[in-house]
């Protein structure tokens, strides 16, 4: 067992990355992830590893590209506006098949928004973000412990598939303090014979590149990527299911909102309401199959997000009309309240009506809206 300490999510992510053998970190200050870059500034140089405060997020992600091309475990972190700037670089990482770990501690948007927690970057994270046909593996931790564990895992997953991995947290996950057990890790990165630099010892020259003007080459690469994504879909989905067996209504939420939903579940069960919870841990690959299976038994689903409704589209795709999908969300830094979720549950279960509750407490017809 490792040591048990009290840490902020941002710090736990940084420490887990260090233990997982991150050799180079590049970042640019932005709230609410500043504790992460400050932790790296303090600890990476002490270990003889690379820390650079880059001049911008654009520079930081390109430094990651370079370090990854050289075969290093490398990482960057930011929050929503900065992650938007990194999208170009992320697309290039995928195109050149470079492993890297990217952390997004989301805040309210669009634009400069605010520094409150948000889940409004779901589409950007899971449905592209940059240009081209690609996916990142997206992990959504809901505790500080899970943030640390998933970060450590991310480096292995990124290396295994030669694809970037995204840790998607929010201002609460990044800044709250919780006890966390940090285990010793023996980093075991696979050999990277494709990397550039280092003694060649007679090997053929390597090339890190995302371009080809030769007919059919890029299409061929995309088919290769597709095979990779299919393998990820097979091997990597992660989710948590609570009390779904007998549920009349299943809540679906990730990250911070799943914590709120767990409390709602407890209150609802105490009142005799049969409520369950599905918490996707990987947002891509999305656990479509588990949700589809649940939809054969349970007729009502309520998706709760800190957004205007993004993951709800994947839930609709998963249930394909087998169950009713309701939604409750608060955008721009708003945090769903337990009593509002309880109210919509009562409304749906008692009146068998579609609905969503806005921040102002009015029930609107979700399907019609």
Partner 1 sequence: MSDTDMQKIAGRSSLWNDRPSPYCPGCGHGVVHRVICELIEEYKLADNCVFMAPVGCSILAYTFLDLDVCQSAHGRTPAVATGIKRSRPDTFVLAYQGDGDLASIGTAEIVHAANRGENITTVFVNNAIYGMTGGQMAPTTLPGQKATTCPGGRDAASGMGHPIRICELLQSLDGVTYLARSSVHTPANVIKTKQAIKKAFDVQLNRKGFSLVEVLSSCPVNWGMQPVESLDFVANNMAPQYPLGEYKVDGVCVAPKA
Ligand X SMILES: Cc1ncc(C[n+]2csc(CCOP(=O)(O)OP(=O)(O)O)c2C)c(N)n1
- Chain contacts with ligand X (rule: CB under 6 A): 28-30, 57, 81-82, 85, 112
Nearest CB to partner 1, comparing residues 78 and 257: 78
Do 33 and 10 form a contact (C-beta atoms < 8 A)? yes
Stretch in the footprint of partner 1 (CB under 8 A) among 49-57, 188-196, 218-226, 318-326: 49-57
CA 325 to chain centre: 22
| CB nearer to partner 1: pick between 34 and 310 | 34
In whole angstroms, the minimum distance from the beta carbon of 169 to partner 1 comes to 18
| Residue 34 vs 151, nearer CB to partner 1 | 34
Pick what 170 binds: partner 1, ligand X, none; C-beta below 5 to 8 Å, kind-dependent.
none
Are 69 and 194 spatial neighbours (Cβ–Cβ below 8 Å)? no
User: Would you say 37 or 319 has its CB closer to partner 1?
Assistant: 37
Strand partners, 177: 8
Under the criterion CB under 8 A, does residue 81 sit at the interface with partner 1? yes
Least distance from partner 1 to the Cβ atom of residue 110, Å? 11
- Which residue's Cβ lies closest to ligand X? 30
For the record, the structure tokens of 90 come out as 């992320």
Laid out side by side, the sheet with 137-139 consists of 50-53, 24-27, 74-78, 101-106, 165-170, 137-139, 282-284
Q: How far is the CB of 164 from ligand X (least distance, A)?
A: 19
Which partner in partner 1, ligand X, none is near 363 (CB below 5 to 8 A by kind)? none
Residues 110-149 that bind partner 1 (CB under 8 A): 111-112
Please tell me the total number of residues recorded for the chain in this structure: 369
Dihedral over Cα of 330, 334, 340, 342: its sign: positive
Q: How far is the CB of 14 from partner 1 (least distance, A)?
A: 12
User: Which helix or strand (DSSP H or E) is residue 224 part of?
Assistant: helix 217-235
Smallest distance from partner 1 to CB 28, Å: 7
3-state secondary structure of 107: strand
Q: Which is nearer to partner 1, 46 or 203 (CB)?
A: 46
Identify which of residues 79 and 125 has a Cβ nearer to partner 1 in the complex. 79
Distance set, CA 354 to CA 197, 248, 270, 326, 348 (Å): 59, 15, 24, 6, 6
Q: Rule CB under 8 A: which of 8-47 touch partner 1? A: 28-31, 34, 37-38, 41-42, 45
Q: Least separation, in Å, of the C-beta of 56 and ligand X?
A: 7
End-to-end CA separation in angstroms for the chain? 51
C-alpha span between 45 and 58 (Å, rounded): 22
Q: Does 57 bind partner 1 (CB under 8 A)?
A: yes
As measured in angstroms, the least distance from the Cβ of 58 to ligand X is 9
Shortest Cβ 99–partner 1 spacing (Å)? 24
Place of tokens 């779901």: 122
User: CA 56, 62, 66, 71: dihedral to nearest 10 degrees?
Assistant: 100
Q: Does 284 bind partner 1 (CB under 8 A)?
A: no
Closest CB to partner 1 among residues 79, 142: 79
- Cα–Cα distance, 79 to 28 (Å, whole number): 10
Interacting residue ranges for partner 1, rule: CB under 8 A: 28-31, 34, 37-38, 41-42, 45, 52-53, 55-57, 81, 111-112
């Amino acid at each position: 067992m490792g040591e048990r300490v009290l840490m902020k999510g941002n710090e736990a992510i940084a420490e887990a990355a260090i233990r997982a053998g991150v050799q180079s970190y590049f970042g640019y200050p932005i709230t609410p992830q500043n504790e992460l870059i400050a932790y790296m500034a303090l600890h990476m140089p002490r270990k003889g590893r690379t820390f650079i405060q880059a001049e911008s997020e654009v520079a930081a992600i390109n430094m990651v590209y370079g370090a990854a091309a050289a075969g290093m475990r490398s990482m960057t972190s930011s929050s929503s506006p900065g992650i938007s700037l990194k999208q170009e670089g992320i697309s290039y990482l995928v195109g050149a098949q470079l492993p890297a770990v990217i952390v997004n501690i989301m805040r309210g948007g669009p634009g400069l928004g605010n520094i409150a927690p948000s889940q409004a970057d779901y589409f950007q994270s899971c449905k592209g973000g940059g240009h081209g046909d690609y996916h990142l593996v997206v992990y959504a931790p809901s505790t500080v412990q899970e943030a640390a564990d998933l970060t450590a895992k991310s480096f292995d997953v990124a290396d295994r598939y030669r694809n970037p991995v995204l840790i998607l947290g929010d201002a609460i996950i990044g800044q709250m303090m919780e006890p966390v057990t940090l285990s010793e890790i023996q980093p075991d990165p696979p050999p990277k014979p494709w990397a550039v630099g280092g003694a060649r010892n007679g090997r053929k020259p390597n090339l890190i590149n995302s371009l080809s003007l030769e007919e059919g080459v890029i299409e061929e690469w995309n088919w290769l990527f597709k095979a990779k994504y299919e393998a990820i879909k097979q091997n990597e989905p992660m989710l948590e299911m609570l009390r779904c067996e007998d549920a009349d209504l299943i809540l679906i939420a990730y990250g911070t909102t799943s914590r709120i939903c767990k409390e709602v579940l407890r209150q609802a069960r105490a009142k005799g309401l049969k409520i369950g919870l599905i918490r996707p841990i990987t947002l891509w690959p999305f656990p479509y199959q588990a949700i589809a299976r649940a939809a054969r038994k349970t007729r009502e689903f309520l998706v709760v997000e800190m957004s205007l409704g993004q993951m709800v589209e994947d839930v609709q795709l998963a249930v394909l009309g087998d169950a009713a999908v309701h939604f409750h969300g608060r955008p721009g830094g708003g945090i769903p309240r337990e009593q509002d979720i309880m109210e919509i549950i009562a409304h749906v279960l008692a009146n068998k009506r579609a609905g969503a509750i806005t921040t102002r407490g009015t029930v609107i017809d979700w399907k019609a809206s």
